[in-house]
């Protein structure tokens, strides 16, 4: 069990909304065991999930589901289970990693706008996968290095009116980022005050930080800061996530105490 101040950090993150156990497991494997050959032993996974506040039965059910979905592979080794991402699970984790772990300095600085022809329109989701956020029907915003679909009218901005952020910025995400930002600040305080952070603490904190961050950052295309309103904390969250993860480098799973 974690002690103060780290228990406060865990509480700040673990009480954010929408914590599905299977999704949390996807984060744990994606963060701690993403490489080919990486495994997490059953007892290690159990203590981490327990520290996060997930009951053993809930973890078992979620693991079952992820095995059925082809995300996780489990094999027996003596009395232990060895869990690992499947090839397709690794592929999806690795595809999301640049968005999740990208350094703030690597965030896009320039943007462009697309207008799709009336007959070549694509779904909002397909455009989001290309990195473009919808401003209005047929009109999308994206980082300048995102490749537009064939036939798009591509334009570079020469003005930046205030109504633009107001219109395209998702209000619900703005609120979610504000909450995450507050939680991350509590985590930062806790980490800065902690006399000792064990490998197990580190693993738990990393997984909670990455999980709550990826739930939001993967919901929308990433656009330059100047496209958002002054109150938008998405980019501030990335800065905090990035500095916290560098203070909490990925632990050696063999060092994780099972006591």
Q: Which of 10, 46, 2 is nearest to 28 (CA)?
A: 46
Q: How far is CA 140 from CA 7, 80, 109, 154, in A?
A: 43, 50, 17, 10
Identified binder of its own copies from the candidate list 153, 175, 249, 257, rule CB under 8 A:
153
Q: At what angle do helices 171-193 and 199-217 cross, to 10 degrees?
A: 170
Q: Which of 57, 125, 131, 134 is nearest to 98 (CA)?
A: 131
Identified binder of its own copies from the candidate list 18, 156, 192, 258, rule CB under 8 A:
156
Identified binder of its own copies from the candidate list 43, 70, 98, 117, rule CB under 8 A:
117
Helix (H) or strand (E) holding 192: helix 171-193
Positions in 161-190 near its own copies (CB under 8 A): 161, 163-164, 167
- The answer to whether residue 135 forms part of the interface with its own copies (CB under 8 A) is yes
Helix (H) or strand (E) holding 199: helix 199-217
- The answer to whether residue 121 forms part of the interface with its own copies (CB under 8 A) is no
- To its own copies, the closest distance from the beta carbon of 176 in angstroms equals 24
Cis peptide before 127 (omega within 30 of 0): no
- To its own copies, the closest distance from the beta carbon of 126 in angstroms equals 18
CA atoms of 37 and 43, how far apart (whole Å): 18
Q: What angle do CA 95, 96, 100 make, to 5 degrees?
A: 145
- The answer to whether residue 113 forms part of the interface with its own copies (CB under 8 A) is yes
Identified binder of its own copies from the candidate list 136, 195, 196, 258, rule CB under 8 A:
136
Cβ closer to its own copies: 88 or 167?
Answer: 167
Cβ closer to its own copies: 5 or 149?
Answer: 149
Instruction: Give the binding-site size for its own copies (rule: CB under 8 A).
Output: 26
- To its own copies, the closest distance from the beta carbon of 98 in angstroms equals 25
Extended beta strands in 80-122, E state: 80-85, 111-115
Question: Binding marks (x or -) toward its own copies, 12..51, rule CB under 8 A?
Answer: ----------------------------------------
Can you give the binding site for its own copies, defined by CB under 8 A? Answer: 112-113, 115, 117-120, 135-136, 138-139, 148, 151-161, 163-164, 167
């Amino acid at each position: 069990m974690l002690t103060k101040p780290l228990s406060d950090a865990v509480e700040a993150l673990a009480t954010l909304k929408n914590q599905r156990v299977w999704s949390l497991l996807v984060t744990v494997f994606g963060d701690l065991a993403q490489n080919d050959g990486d495994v997490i032993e059953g007892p290690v996974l159990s203590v981490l999930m327990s520290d996060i506040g997930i009951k053993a039965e809930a973890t078992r059910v979620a693991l079952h589901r992820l095995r059925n979905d082809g995300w996780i592979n489990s094999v027996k080794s003596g009395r232990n289970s060895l869990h690992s991402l499947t090839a397709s699970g690794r592929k999806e984790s690795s595809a999301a990693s640049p968005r999740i772990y990208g350094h703030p300095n690597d965030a896009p600085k320039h943007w462009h706008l697309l207008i799709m022809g009336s007959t070549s329109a694509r779904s909002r989701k397909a455009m989001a996968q290309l990195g473009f956020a919808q401003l209005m029907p047929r009109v999308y915003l994206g980082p300048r290095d995102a490749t537009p679909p064939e036939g798009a009218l591509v334009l570079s901005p020469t003005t930046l009116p205030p109504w633009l952020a107001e219109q395209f910025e998702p209000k619900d995400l703005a609120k979610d980022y504000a909450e995450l930002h507050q939680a991350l600040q509590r985590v930062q305080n806790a980490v800065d005050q902690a006399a000792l952070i064990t490998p197990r603490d580190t693993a738990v904190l990393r997984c909670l930080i990455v999980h709550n961050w990826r739930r939001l950052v993967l919901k929308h295309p990433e656009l330059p800061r100047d496209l958002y309103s002054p109150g938008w904390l998405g980019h501030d969250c990335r800065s905090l996530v990035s500095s916290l993860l560098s203070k909490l480098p990925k632990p050696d799973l063999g060092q994780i105490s099972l006591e």
